[in-house]
Structure 1
Amino acid sequence: MLVRFLRKKAVGHILLNLMLILTLIMSSTVPVLASDVDVLPEIRQLLQNQYVDPVAAEVLNAPTVDETLERLGDPHTIYFTPEEYKDFVGSIDMRFYGIGIHIDVESEGVRVVSVISGSPAEEAGLKSGDLIVSADGQSLVGLPSDLVIALIRGPEGSTVQIRVKQETETRDFNVTRRAITEPTITGEMLDGHIGYLDLNSFGSDTPTEFQTVVKQLRSKNVNGWIVDLRDNGGGYLSAALDLAGFFIGPDVVVGIKDRTGSVSEYKAPDHGFTLSQPVIFLTNGNSASASEILSAAVKDHQKATLVGTTTYGKGTVQSMFTLSNGGVLKMTVDRFYSPLGHGINKIGVKPDVEIRHADSLRAAELMLSNETEALAKARTTDYWQAWGELKNSVAANVQVERYALYYPGYHKISELSAVPLDKKFTVHFNGSVNCQSVNSTSLELINSETGERTPAQFEPLGTADVQVIPNAALNPNTTYWLVIHPSVLDVNGLAMSEGAVAIAQTIKDTAAEDTTKIQSFNKFQEPITGSNSKGLQALDYGWALWDLDKRP
């Protein structure tokens, strides 16, 4: 599967062909103009008889389809031409026509983030990191993503000539577009015990794909699950209902209220098993519609913990109506509510654990790890920020100094302010120290916000003092922790009885060289028995769709 950050962490990355329908809808605030003569009466009748709310005469009497839908003011009710509808359905099922690349639009052109295996782009020789600067002679420099997509994608069998910078060489490629399909769900093992399910859309094949991936991971004896719904705009309602059965069993998934005010409850199917291990769902502001149905269901039934940020808040259901000219009207017909009756439209589903700044996937991994494993991860730069935000979120009312979240049991020995950027620190021990035990693993200078370690030299000053000399200037206006671990030994080989932390706040500007002495802070351990030692927001975004031929 693609590296995680390519799809979810880096918001600017675009799946070139999948995102076509989003761009098509975003590119205009006015719905696509239909053939008024052919379909205006049909659309009027559908609005009058099946739209979720009573439709005003002013809307029904509009002279054109364009004006009718504009007056309606519902961004989720849209007319599609036959070709546009085909693209829309393909986007939900992650089937499309193109060259098969993931891109990031930059000021200098279009960066290839990754190339889909077996795609025309891979066969032509495109590679991750390439910079596409033109397509069919049209410069891509400075163009927005919708125009880039329009220039690179196209009908099956057609060819696009792209000019690509590969390292120091510029080359022209002729790439023939063809059908590309990606799975709507992928899975992998994390940390040797967590089943990670990356759900990108609720397509027609998603339930089958889900069961296949889950079966593979269950055979590896996972003891926890992470379901990633970040940036998942939804899809078919039937897929959401089906997937819910793997978590809540044959219970109520959603309540759907029609135009008459009648509410119908829809239950999940019985798959014969549920994921009984701890489950975490990841959500963000781009988790919409079908994603919100599933998230709300597992939350109401207390079958999963939601981690991340509040979802998009698109709580309406659309149906597809085929028109006589071959076009399709996507029209809002229902509103949906959580199993306990909570509203979702323009509200969203709130997470149980809010992670706004760090990577919520990292936070989820920490939550599914045992205490020792979690703390070891937390002290690495990859998990540092996630741990800090996670601990603050779950223990918001507990007052504790931040360093203690990472180094419980360590005590603060001093707190320095206005520290110069070329500071040298002197650590004084209450006894003779084995200088060979003072090194980058036993004594660390850490940026408290990022967890980044500052390399340093350690020079003994007598038998009980060590000077810490950073290899580079410290960052201005930054809090550092000088962490002394219990692995420091005295001359007799005894370890310290506990660790300690000195806090240093740097100044905003460079100052003259200075040396700060940190007072003695600890006694070496006496010989004893035992040991102490876890965006994109279009005008029409988010789908909870009745299947075209499966409306109740």
Structure 2
Amino acid sequence: MLRNHIQRFIMLFVILLVMLPLTTSAATEPIDEIRQLIKDYYVDDVPASVLSRSTGKEITNGLDPHSAYMSKQEYEAFINGIEQRIVGIGVVLEESVNGIKVISVIKDGPAFKAGIVPGDVITHVGGNSLKGQSVQAAVPLISGKENTDVSLTIEREKTEKPVKMTIRRAEIHLPTVESEMLGGNIGYIRLNSFATDSARDMEDAIRSLKGAEGFIVDIRNNGGGYITAAQEIAGFFPGVEQAFQLREKNKKPAIYPSVNQKQKITGPVSLLINEYSASASEMLAVNLKEQKAATLYGESTYGKGTMQSMYAFNDGSVLKMTTARFYSPKGIAVDKVGVTPDIKTRENEELITAHYEQLLTQYKDYARYPKLENVKTTKRFTVNMTKEMDWRQLGNKSAQLIEIGGKESNVRFEVKDGKTIEVIPEAPLLSGKKYVLIIHPVWMDKKGKALKKGIYLDVTVK
């Protein structure tokens, strides 16, 4: 009824709350096969006291947190999480001391709407404590069918009392890749998962951002995915010929190549990371940092530098087991240490910092004027020149107002006199946001002489 070695998949860690899984009966478990596979392929030696346990789940609970024995439906839920096909509350999870920690929250999902934030620790589901439980054990309790409710108790930083809430499960749609053009022609690509179609979607995103003068690639809160997807994604970065180094049990370290892509990211590249960037995300981050193919912004990453392999059995159950540790191509470790950014930023300021610095790179020869702070949302910008100007030379792009971390704001001009002009945003500025106003050296005086150099100034809105 069982077979020792069936289809083998290699992937990295990600768990999303999905359809309600079933538990595999211990009486039908391929326990001998599980023990042998662990002896042969688990990355470290395992004590006999662990291998002698009576069920697959008990054995894998004695391994590292990323190894697990899953029922057929648990495995399907795991794969659906990587592929972003999910029904649940919409969170990415990891084990924690007091329960199950929320790594990231899917925008507009049930958890997002309920106010759950990264860093929250789910301590109880209904009356069941999650202290000391694995993610796999928590999934059956938190997940369920669409349009059913689940009651959670949450431990939150800076909150004295536990937070209790009831959330209705729903179907959630999340693309693996999202993209848009930011102000200053900076292409922004958010990679949510290293899934089967991530490389195809990444190629489409790069193509849609034609004309970009630089790129920001965002892998914050990305918990990982397939190792092959990491190889494919690495191939979009010029000069990155190697993807990672693997060290398996009783084998010499092996360096794996990236998958060369015809469509390439061009110009300066910023990579956004945070403490919830894990596994395949860290594989990409440490590689790009080592190859100097991108500048990393944010916080140190999670520190999961291990690879899991999948072993399937005839009953549909699957053994997910850590079989290797990965490193940068030159051997920089990731496991338990993470990847440090080149430029450390405050939490949630990774994007605005990277965007602003890319803009300054474009306009490094421009003169910087004193910043304007706490302006009103209805601010009009008055520009005074020292000479009589020929305002007929004004064009739509002679001045730009760009939201840092966002798009360009449309502006119009109003001439006051020969030396004075107003730059007027066509829509109110956004409260609490930062902008940069750029005057390009295309304006001419009455004698036909253009500005010697452009100017820019920072603007903050109260």
TM-score normalised by length of structure 1:
0.51
May I ask how many residue pairs the two structures share in their alignment?
325
Which of 58, 65, 79 is the equivalent residue of 1:89?
A: 79
- For residues 49 and 374 of structure 1, the distance between their equivalents in structure 2, rounded to whole angstroms, comes to 64
1:78 aligns with 2:68: yes
2:203 aligned to which of 211, 234, 243: 211
CA RMSD of aligned residues (A): 4.4
Q: Deviations over 1:277-327 (max 9, x none)?
A: 000001111111100111111111111000111111111100111123211
2:17 paired residue number: 20
The whole-number CA distance in structure 2 between the counterparts of 1:377 and 1:152 is 53
Give, in whole Å, the separation in 1 of the partners of 2:69 and 2:370.
50
User: Could you say what secondary structure the match of 1:256 adopts?
Assistant: strand
Inter-CA distance 208–248: structure 2 relative to 1 (3 Å threshold): same
- Give the aligned partner of residue 324 of structure 2: 334
Cα deviation digits, residues 66-110 of structure 1 (max 9, x gap): 3322333x11111111111111111111101359899xxxxxxxx
Aligned to 2:230: 240
Distance, in Å, in 2 between the alignment partners of 1:319 and 1:356 is 35
Residue 153 (structure 1) shift: 5.6
Matched-pair contact (CA < 8 Å) for 1:34–1:65: no
Task: Output aligned runs, 1:35-74, within 5 Å.
Answer: 35=26, 37-72=28-63, 74=64
8 Å contact 1:292–1:348 — kept in the other structure? yes
The answer to whether the Cα contact below 8 Å between 1:306 and 1:351 also exists between their aligned partners in 2 is yes
Aligned position for 1:198? 190
Counterpart secondary structure, 2:353: helix
* Cα displacement (A) at 1:199: 1.1
Amino acid at match of 1:35: A
**Residues 1:183 and 2:175 aligned together:** yes
Distance 2:172 2:370 in 1: 38
Q: Which of 300, 324, 339 does residue 314 from structure 2 map onto?
A: 324
Of the three residues 289, 303, 306, the one matched with 2:296 is 306
Query: Larger C-alpha radius of gyration, 1 or 2?
Result: 1
- Inter-CA distance 182–145: structure 2 relative to 1 (3 Å threshold): farther
Q: Aligned partners of 1:267 and 1:330: how far apart in 2?
A: 24
Moved over 6 A (4+): 99-102, 128-132, 148-152, 158-162, 372-378, 530-533
Aligned CA distance change for structure 1 residues 37 and 381 (closer, same or farther; 3 Å)? farther
1:279 partner amino acid: V
SS at match of 1:291: helix
The structure-2 alpha-carbon separation of the partners of 1:256 and 1:144, relative to structure 1 and needing over 3 Å to count, comes to closer
Q: 1:100 to 1:360 in 2, by over 3 A?
A: closer
Query: Which secondary structure state, in structure 1, belongs to the residue aligned with residue 209 of structure 2?
Result: helix
Q: State how 1:392-431 maps to structure 2 within 5 Å.
A: none
Report the alpha carbon displacement of residue 271 of structure 1 after superposing the two structures with TM. Answer: 1.3
Distance 1:381 1:324, change over 3 A: farther
8 Å contact kept, 1:101–1:114: no
Q: Is the 8 A contact 1:39 1:324 kept in 2?
A: no
The whole-number CA distance in structure 2 between the counterparts of 1:265 and 1:202 is 20
**What residue is the counterpart of 1:280 in the other structure?**
270
Tell me the amino acid that sits aligned with residue 259 of structure 2: P
Structure 1 counterpart of 2:201, which letter?
E
Quote the Cα distance in structure 2 between the aligned partners of 1:257 and 1:115: 39
The equivalent residue for 2:421 is none
Shift, 1:152, TM fit: 8.6
In the alignment, structure 1 segments of 5+ residues that lack a partner are: 1-17, 26-31, 103-111, 122-127, 133-141, 163-174, 383-449, 453-529, 534-552
Higher helix share: 1
Contact 1:42 1:323 (8 Å CA) reproduced: no
Q: 1:247/1:46 Cα in 2 relative to 1: closer, same or farther (>3 Å)?
A: same
* Secondary structure class of the residue paired with 2:272: strand
* Counterparts in 2 of 1:99 and 1:297: CA distance versus 1, 3 Å: closer
CA distance in 1: counterparts of 2:207 and 2:370, whole angstroms: 28
Partner of 2:440: none
Q: Is the deviation greater in 184-193 or in 269-278?
A: 269-278
Q: Secondary structure at the match of 1:234?
A: coil
Change (3 A) 1:113 1:283: closer
Q: Secondary structure at the match of 1:356?
A: coil
Query: Which deviations, in whole Å up to 9, do the C-alpha atoms of 1:494-547 show, x marking residues without a partner?
Result: xxxxxxxxxxxxxxxxxxxxxxxxxxxxxxxxxxxx9999xxxxxxxxxxxxxx
Q: Which residues in structure 2 correspond to 1:72-471 (within 5 Å)?
A: 72=63, 74-97=64-87, 115=108, 144=122, 147=125, 154-155=144-145, 180-218=172-210, 221-249=211-239, 251-357=241-347, 359-370=349-360, 371=363
CA distance 1:312–1:44, shift in 2 (3 Å): same
Question: Residue 377 and residue 194 in structure 1: after superposition, are their counterparts in 2 closer, same or farther (change >3 A)?
Answer: farther
Shift of 1:190: 1.1
- Residue 144 of structure 2 aligns to a residue whose secondary structure is coil
Structure 1 residues 250 and 190: alpha-carbon distance in aligned structure 2, compared to 1, 3 A threshold: closer
The 2-side partners of 1:233 and 1:374 are apart by: 42
1:196–1:378 distance in 2 versus 1, CA, 3 Å: farther
Q: Distance in 1 between matches of 2:174 and 2:331?
A: 35
Pair 1:39–1:244, CA change in 2 (3 A)? same
Aligned-pair CA distance for 1:374: 11
Q: Does the Cα contact within 8 Å between 1:248 and 1:301 map onto a contact in 2?
A: no
SS in 2 for 1:351: coil
CA spacing shift, 1:232–1:60, aligned 2, 3 Å: same
Quote the Cα distance in structure 2 between the aligned partners of 1:347 and 1:131.
30
Q: Distance in 1 between matches of 2:453 and 2:194?
A: 53
CA shift in 2, pair 1:145/1:247, >3 Å? farther
The 2-side partners of 1:87 and 1:377 are apart by 54
Instruction: Tell me how far apart the structure 1 counterparts of residues 218 and 106 of structure 2 sit (CA, whole Å).
Output: 20
Equivalent residue letter for 2:352: R
| Partners of 2:25 and 2:255 in 1: CA distance | 35
For residue 56 of structure 2, what is the amino acid of its counterpart? V
* 3-state SS of paired residue (1:187): strand
Judge conservation of contact 2:215–2:266 (CA < 8 Å) in 1.
no
Contact in 2 for aligned 1:226/1:279 (Cα 8 Å)? yes
How far apart are the structure 2 equivalents of 1:381 and 1:307?
Answer: 26
Kept in 2, the 8 Å contact 1:295–1:306? The answer is yes
